[in-house]
Structure 1
Amino acid sequence: MNLLPQIQLLSQYNRWMNQKVYQAASGLNEDVLIADKGAFFGSMLGTLNHILVADIIWLKRFSTHPTHHPILDSIRQTPQPKALNQILYSHFYELTNARHDLDELIILWCQELAETDLDVKLTYQSMKGETGIREFGSLVLHFFNHQSHHRGQVTTLLSQAGVDVGVTDLLVIIPNFAETVKTG
């Protein structure tokens, strides 16, 4: 199995889930969004900002790939976040717009990737200044796994606030060939 179609699927899942989470959170008042609930990044707004911060950090690292994907030019120009708990957007509406734009960029970038890109060993610096050299494809998988991990925390916080996000399984967007057999 080639890894690239799986990465492209994960980019679509990322967008789909972010739309669901942000839609669910949009009905909450600001006090609920900023309330420290003891999550890793305190509040829903803090956790959603963290996911965006981490995505920017990783995309900036990915932009150093030798293929130099032009679609990441805007990320190259984006200021480097200073901390993992940095609040880039204190207003939910602004955060929602930034998330939407970044999700679209991620999808376009994943469509630009080639299977050969995934085998490259990418050298990067951690937020602590430590050097890492890892297989690019595995780093991209980490990128999507990290998003799912923290979105899971947000869905828990939403549930505690009485908001049901609905089905969150990746399975929902994986093509079901049984449906093709029924209609074919």
Structure 2
Amino acid sequence: MADLLDHFRRMAANNLWSNDRLYRAVLALRTGEFETERTSFFPSIRETLNHILAVDLLYLDFLEEGPLGAAAFDDFVAFHAPAPLFEAQTAADRRLMVFCEKITSADLDRRVETDRREHGKIPERISDLLAHLFIHQIHHRGQVHAMLAGTSVPPPQLDEFFLDYDWKLRKEEVERLKL
């Protein structure tokens, strides 16, 4: 039976896989579709994907107990083209996978300081930060997925990762990504 630590490791791998699928669709967009204003929480695919990365970098800094704190988000410089954004997102996804591989079950209850600007420094459990980060990623990837429906590129299937039944649909990607 899988434990919570195994679940987080699998979620980190799923995150890399999902972003890879999503970005491959985004890279196929016609000129102008990436930044076109659309109806969603953020007004474009570009802004939504930049937000995902900015929050990922913030939470990675929290989890790794890095020196940046809120500056990881505040000083984030948005990408204007999908290819370099994809490259940066992949690096963050790999970093998250390494973090999840290195932590132990005992680490999950350990608290790390989060810098919440005007709300101060708030200690949070690593397990709660990871859970929140995965939910955040899924939430905003779903928005990009919906926005893709209004473009020249059909939205990719993003729920074929965990089940053995779906293995044939992800085998090539999982092997290419070395998951």
TM-score by length of structure 1 reads 0.79
TM-score by length of structure 2 reads 0.81
Q: Which of 155, 164, 168 in structure 2 is aligned with 1:176? A: 164
Aligned to 2:80: 90
Structure 1 residue 163, shift from structure 2 partner: 2.5
CA distance in structure 2 between the partners assigned to 1:2 and 1:155 by the alignment: 30
Q: Which of 125, 128, 146 in structure 2 is aligned with 1:135? A: 125
Give the counterpart letter for 1:176 in structure 2.
D
Moved more, 155-164 or 45-54: 155-164
1:105 aligns with 2:91: no
Runs of 4+, deviation exceeding 3 Å: 75-79, 127-131
* Counterpart secondary structure, 1:31: coil
Equivalent pairs counted in the alignment come to: 164
Which whole-Å deviations, capped at 9, do the CAs of 1:121-176 have from their partners, x for residues lacking one? 2221224443323221011111111000000000000012142233211xx32253
Aligned to 1:125: 115
| Structure 2 counterparts to residues 24-43 of structure 1, below 5 A | 24-43=25-44
Percent sequence identity is 24
RMSD: 2.3
Which whole-Å deviations, capped at 9, do the CAs of 1:32-72 have from their partners, x for residues lacking one? 111121322211010000000000011111111xxxxxxxx
Aligned to 2:172: none
| Structure 2 counterparts to residues 151-170 of structure 1, below 5 A | 151-169=141-159
Q: Which runs of 5 or more structure 1 residues have no equivalent in the other structure?
A: 65-74, 180-184
1:80 aligns with 2:78: no
